[in-house]
């Protein structure tokens, strides 16, 4: 089987990003289960290029390359910090430039981090509808990590850890088009 192309998008503009660390945890959980090439897009690292780009036709070559990587991927892992009850503005700005036809049927894992528990439904109320717009195939298990559930670069809450592993199993099943029960 050829290697799967996974694109992981970390939507935080912050250089010391908890979202990125959690995302890498999910990437590792998936990569342990499937042979994959992983491209991590860190919105904080491209913010200086992304911010001034109003629309895709004027996007610098590096932004265009990353957009094409998302559009050609086999699996997207999309992670954002909660900002004012939603995903970050720069994350949405990047997603806004993706071709509206390009993600049809694409498996997408949804991940968010927040300060507390109150905005855990950001996954269901904000991220899932965003990828629903593209007719993408969002994976059933979303992973929300509050600050208290994450310490020293790792998810410490066992229930969140179990959800993270469940998401990885669903991602692998989607890549191989197998039922989750055959992978778990």
Q: Please, which residue, 72 or 125, has the CB nearer to ligand FMN?
A: 125
Q: Does 149 bind ligand FMN (CB under 6 A)?
A: no
**What tokens appear for 61 in the block?**
């070559």
Phi, psi of 16 (to 5 degrees): -100, 80
Instruction: Provide the strand spans (E) within the chain.
Output: 4-10, 36-42, 75-81, 107-114, 137-138, 143-146, 150-151, 154-155
Query: Sign of the C-alpha dihedral, residues 175, 30, 157, 11?
Result: negative
CB of 165 to ligand FMN, least distance (A): 20
Q: Please, which residue, 96 or 147, has the CB nearer to ligand FMN?
A: 147
Q: Does 126 bind ligand FMN (CB under 6 A)?
A: no
> Who contacts 181 (Cβ-Cβ below 8 Å, separation ≥6)?
none
Please, are residues 117 and 147 in contact by the beta-carbon 8 Å criterion?
no
Please, are residues 153 and 21 in contact by the beta-carbon 8 Å criterion?
yes
Q: Which of 9, 19, 25, 67 binds ligand FMN (CB under 6 A)?
A: 19
Binding mask 85-104 for ligand FMN (x = CB under 6 A): x-------------------
CB of 125 to ligand FMN, least distance (A): 12
Q: Does 17 bind ligand FMN (CB under 6 A)?
A: yes
Distance CA 110, CA 108 (A): 6
**What tokens appear for 4 in the block?**
């799967």
Distance CA 84, CA 95 (A): 18
Q: Which of 27, 30, 78, 81 binds ligand FMN (CB under 6 A)?
A: 81
Instruction: Compute the radius of gyration of the chain from its Cα atoms.
Output: 15
Among the residue ranges 17-25, 68-76, 95-103, 159-167, the one whose residues contact ligand FMN (CB under 6 A): 17-25
Q: Which of 107, 109, 114, 142 binds ligand FMN (CB under 6 A)?
A: 114
Q: How many chain residues bind ligand FMN (CB under 6 A)? A: 17
CB of 166 to ligand FMN, least distance (A): 21
The residues binding ligand FMN (CB under 6 A) are: 12, 14, 17-19, 81-85, 113-116, 118-119, 147
């Amino acid at each position: 089987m050829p290697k799967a192309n996974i694109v992981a998008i970390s939507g935080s503009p912050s250089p010391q990003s908890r979202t990125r660390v959690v995302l890498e945890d999910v990437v590792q959980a998936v990569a342990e289960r499937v042979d994959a090439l992983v491209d991590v897009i860190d919105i904080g690292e491209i913010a200086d290029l992304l911010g001034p780009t109003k629309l895709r036709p004027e996007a610098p070559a590096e932004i265009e390359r990353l957009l094409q990587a998302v559009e050609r991927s086999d699996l997207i892992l999309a992670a954002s910090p909660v900002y004012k009850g939603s995903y970050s503005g720069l994350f949405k700005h990047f997603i806004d430039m993706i071709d509206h036809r390009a993600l049809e049927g694409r498996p997408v894992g949804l991940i968010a981090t927040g300060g507390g528990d109150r905005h855990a439904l950001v996954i269901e109320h904000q991220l899932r509808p965003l990828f629903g717009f593209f007719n993408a195939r969002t994976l059933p298990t979303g992973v929300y990590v509050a600050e208290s559930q994450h310490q020293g670069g790792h998810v410490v809450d066992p229930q969140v850890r179990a959800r993270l592993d469940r998401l990885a199993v669903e991602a692998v099943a989607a890549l191989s088009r197998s039922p989750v029960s055959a992978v778990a």
